[in-house]
Structure 1
Amino acid sequence: MSQTIIARRYANALFQLGQEHLKLEQFETELRELQKVFRNNEQLYTFLKHPRISVDQKKQLIHKSFLSYSAEVVNTLKLLVDRHREDIISEMITHFLTMMSDAKGVAEADVYSVRELSKSEKKRISETFAPKVGKRSLNLNNIVDPSILGGIRVRIGNRIFDGSVSGKLSRMERKLVSANKR
């Protein structure tokens, strides 16, 4: 079975647990923090994957490191360690956060622009593109990319809306090349 399917199953279980105990918001906050911890601390993954370190030692580290976290989140991490599934923790967190965004009607979006966008520009982009993908709003991640020359390129999931100058030039070039081949 693929890692993605397994990660999705753990995320679904944690999501259902959060719904039953009315702790979805708390789980979301904790998992966002946990995601940052795992991204910024490669040694933690190395420790959790190390074959010479016992499962009990790994679970003890999780217990001590995440004392302020809910029992459900900590127990999920311990369960993943018990089953030697440490490598899917980040993917499980990503699936959970995606489920939370879907439940709220929010989507994650990458916006490529030549410069950093202002709050009002981000708000307008969110208001413009959210209905196009059937969402109430977008969480925007602004990526500064001078190679687009001007305009913006928006990526929401697997959809790309390209209003950049470089994108328009590329489309014009393709039209000219295909017209010359005829």
Structure 2
Amino acid sequence: MLSEHRARSNGDSDLWLMLARKPHFPIGPSLWVDSCNLVRETSFRQETTSNPPAIPPATCPLTSAMLSRQALRSLRAAAPQRTFAPSSVRSYAAAAATQDVKPPVAVYGLDGTYATALYTAAVKTSSLDPTARALNALSDLYTKDAKLATVLATPTLSEGDKSAIVAELQKSIGGAANDTVKNFLAALAENNRLALLKDVCDKFGELISASRGEVEMVVTSTQPLDNRTLNRLETAVAKSQYVGQGKKLKVTNEVNPDILGGLVVEIGDRTIDLSVSSKIAKMNKLLTDTL
């Protein structure tokens, strides 16, 4: 809620930039126009709710004093009412853009805002699966190039630098860079938020998993687990109360030597901490409280 409040009050905020002005980059209107439309449509609803459309006054050669009540009623009944079709409110003409898209789950933060906007644009352009593959490819670039995060976080990038970076990112993921992804990357660059790319990819992955009925399980260990161990964990957790009926588990193994041993299992928004470091911390707290 705090980030949303800032987005409304701070003239330099990213959300203001996305909604109030068109990017300088030569991008399509999918992302920023959808956001503009959201503001316009919300404003329209508030306006029409608080101020119902007034009935236009009747125009007649005769004066109002000469009109009978019955004639006045007839004129008012025949007067055209103010009606607004969705197409007249929205500023873009794409047929798919008239759909109402509700994300499967809510993701928060500025990265969540961009991820939700990207998800909405992908659904409206019927490019959800290609966009998901492109975001996975972009996320993989961070593993292949350790310097990528540092480059994208540089605060002194010129417009030319950002254009070159966007072009290189599109080139790196090849044919996966559809128009929706190109617009998304250009919007990040325009708003000086390229540093959020990895976080947006992660949040977008959450939206995709939720839309497919998947429950993500992250298993953290001190060293990589073999497939047999992961399969046993997946089978055990799939039968538990942590996974809803009809849901599919998506298992990911992460390595963190700091846990010293054991496992940390994260299922959705729940965490099962079976690590050695956690047990040591509990023992230390118990000894401290006792002494």
TM-score, structure 1 normalization = 0.72
Range with greater deviation from structure 2 (152-161 or 132-141): 152-161
8 Å Cα contact 1:110/1:142 also seen in 2: yes
8 Å Cα contact 1:48-1:86 kept in structure 2: yes
Q: Identify if the C-alpha distance between structure 1 residues 61 and 139 changes in structure 2 by more than 3 Å, giving closer, same or farther.
A: same
Query: Does 135-144 or 69-78 show the bigger shift?
Result: 135-144
CA contact (8 A) 2:152 2:194 kept: no
Structure 1 stretch displaced more, 35-44 or 96-105: 35-44
Alpha-carbon separation, structure 2, partners of 1:29 and 1:8: 18
Give how far 1:144 is off. 6.9
Q: How many Å separate the matches in 1 of 2:231 and 2:195?
A: 36
Q: Does 1:159 align with 2:238?
A: no
Q: Does 1:71 align with 2:71?
A: no
Q: Deviation digits for residues 15-63 of structure 1, max 9, x if unmatched?
A: 112222332221111111112224525357536745352x244224413
SS at match of 2:126: coil
Partners in 2 of 1:171 and 1:65 — Cα distance? 45
Matched, 1:93 2:197: no
Separation in 1, partners of 2:263, 2:110: 36
User: Is 1:143 equivalent to 2:255 in the alignment?
Assistant: yes
User: Could you say if the C-alpha distance between residues 91 and 64 of structure 1 is closer, same or farther in structure 2, counting changes exceeding 3 Å?
Assistant: closer
User: Residue type of the partner of 1:75?
Assistant: N
Could you list the per-position Cα deviations for residues 129-169 of structure 1 after superposition, in whole angstroms to 9, with x for gaps in the alignment? Answer: 24443342132215375832xx5432335533244677668
Q: Give 1:125 shift.
A: 0.8
Letter in 1 for 2:192: H
Structure 2 counterpart of 1:46, from 139, 146, 151: 151
- The offset of 1:6, in angstroms, is 2.4
The answer to which structure, 1 or 2, has the higher relative contact order (CA under 8 A, 6+ apart) is 1
Question: What is the rounded CA distance, in whole Å, between the counterparts of 1:88 and 1:75 in structure 2?
Answer: 15
Instruction: Report the RMSD for the aligned CA atoms in angstroms.
Output: 3.5
Is 1:110 paired with 2:219?
yes
Larger deviation, residues 163-172 vs 6-15: 163-172
For 2:165 and 2:288, how far apart are their aligned partners in 1? 60
**TM superposition score normalised by structure 2:** 0.49
Give the alignment partner of residue 126 of structure 2, picking from 22, 26, 32: 22
Structure 2: any 5+ residue segments left out of the alignment? Answer: 1-5, 8-13, 15-107
Structure 1: 4+ residue segments shifted above 6 A? 168-178
| Structure 1 residues without counterparts, runs of 5 or longer | none
For residues 80-102 of structure 1, the C-alpha deviation after alignment (integer angstroms, 9 at most, x for no partner) is 11122222222211111111122
Secondary structure at the counterpart of residue 255 of structure 2: strand
Flag the structure with higher strand content. 1
- Given that 1:106 and 1:137 are in contact with CA atoms closer than 8 Å, whether structure 2 keeps it comes out as yes
Determine if contact 1:127/1:137 at 8 Å carries over to the other structure. Answer: no
- Corresponding residue of 1:10: 114
Q: Residues of 2 paired with 1:72 and 1:132: CA distance?
A: 38
- Identical aligned residues as a percent: 19
Q: Distance in 2 between matches of 1:116 and 1:47?
A: 29
Change (3 A) 1:59 1:132: farther
Letter in 2 for 1:9: T
Kept in 1: contact 2:166–2:189 (CA 8 A) = no
Q: Is the 8 A contact 2:264 2:271 kept in 1?
A: yes
